[in-house]
Structure 1
Amino acid sequence: MNFIHPRKGRIGLDEMIAAIYAFIEGDRSAQYKMVIGTDSQTSHRGTLFVTAIIVHRVGKGALFFYAKQRSRPILDLRYRIYKETEYSLACMDRLKEKGFVGASMELPVEIHLDVGRKGETRKLIQEVVGWVTAVGYTAKIKPDAYAASSVADRFTK
């Protein structure tokens, strides 16, 4: 999986991790959290999934990357929301496989879900929030799910 940095372009997973470490080293006294969220856009040609990876230096800015994945058109809303959740969790798994989140760096992790109390997705909140919390992460929904509903959404257009 390749990631995209808004200014540097395409980079690999190892390069992204190195950039995150450098960002954190830039201010060791700051508080940080990692936020991952996925959004999707479906057209007759296919569904585009965009996963945003954000390292938030609380009160002092953020560093972000995103990854794109395409599939056949997915029209079923439940299935699409499940795929978005799956992609966010898979991204976190890839980071963990590389040893990124562990004893050397305890960053709080939030998974932002593109569901909210208004609209059709409200029926899915309990299911996807339950899934994310069952694997040990904090789940956020709209309007607090900015990684999915703002950052990732911006790159699905």
Structure 2
Amino acid sequence: MNFNDVTNEIINFVSKYPNSRYKLAIGSDSQVKVGYTVYISAIIIHRIGKGAKGFVTKKIVPREINNLREKIFIEASMTHKIASMFTLDFFEDVMDIIIPNIKKGADFKYEIHVDIGNNGETRKYIKEVAGYFAGLGFETKIKPEAYAASSYANKYTK
């Protein structure tokens, strides 16, 4: 699917149940293999409590990226690139569905999920990476709430 197909799928997903609460989450993860590094970026549209639909894109870097800071910042860069592809027209289309149904419980949130957390080596990058996305105006989640990166994208890096 191309990105336009993905946005159309998301709009169709939301329009089927316009009274629901939704979360659009974007995140990336990576895995070092012998001779290369796999990066997966994920887009998830989650109908809270009722299921989700996910999309992934894969990038292979033809070298082993063992520097954790470099790995994390490439993940963040990939996530930012995808997040910036969502246009104002896309959000207006989603809001055209959500706003008339707010009194019926409809809601829509947009989040960045970063594969860093308070446990482990990645904790030293929380302020820098989460701050970067927050400075751009994104609501940013870290592990364990960053399921688009730490669970969904991670599943496809194996």
The whole-number CA distance in structure 2 between the counterparts of 1:116 and 1:92 is 21
1:12-67, CA deviations, whole angstroms, 9 ceiling, x for partnerless residues? Answer: 11111111111111101111110011000012321111011000111111111111
1:128 aligns with 2:119: no
The equivalent residue for 2:38 is 48
Q: Aligned partner of 1:131: which letter?
A: Y
CA positional deviation for 1:125: 0.5
Which structure: larger Rg?
Answer: 2
Q: Aligned partner of 2:74: which letter?
A: K
Task: Give the one of 3, 9, 28 matched to 1:13.
Answer: 3
The whole-number CA distance in structure 1 between the counterparts of 2:31 and 2:49 is 31
Task: Give the one of 73, 81, 102 matched to 1:90.
Answer: 81
Structure 2 length-normalised TM: 0.87
Structure 1 length-normalised TM: 0.87
1:81 aligns with 2:75: no
Stretches (4+) displaced over 2 A: 103-107
Does structure 1 conserve the Cα–Cα contact (< 8 Å) formed by 2:14 and 2:94? no
SS in 1 for 2:64: coil
Aligned length: 145
Q: Aligned partner of 1:70: which letter?
A: I
Instruction: Say which structure is richer in helix.
Output: 2
Does structure 1 conserve the Cα–Cα contact (< 8 Å) formed by 2:28 and 2:79? yes
| Percent identity of paired positions between Structure 1 and Structure 2 | 39
The whole-number CA distance in structure 1 between the counterparts of 2:7 and 2:111 is 17
CA positional deviation for 1:92: 1.0
* Runs of at least 5 residues in structure 2 that lack an aligned partner in the other structure: 96-107
CA positional deviation for 1:95: 2.1
Does structure 1 conserve the Cα–Cα contact (< 8 Å) formed by 2:11 and 2:94? no
The whole-number CA distance in structure 2 between the counterparts of 1:41 and 1:96 is 30
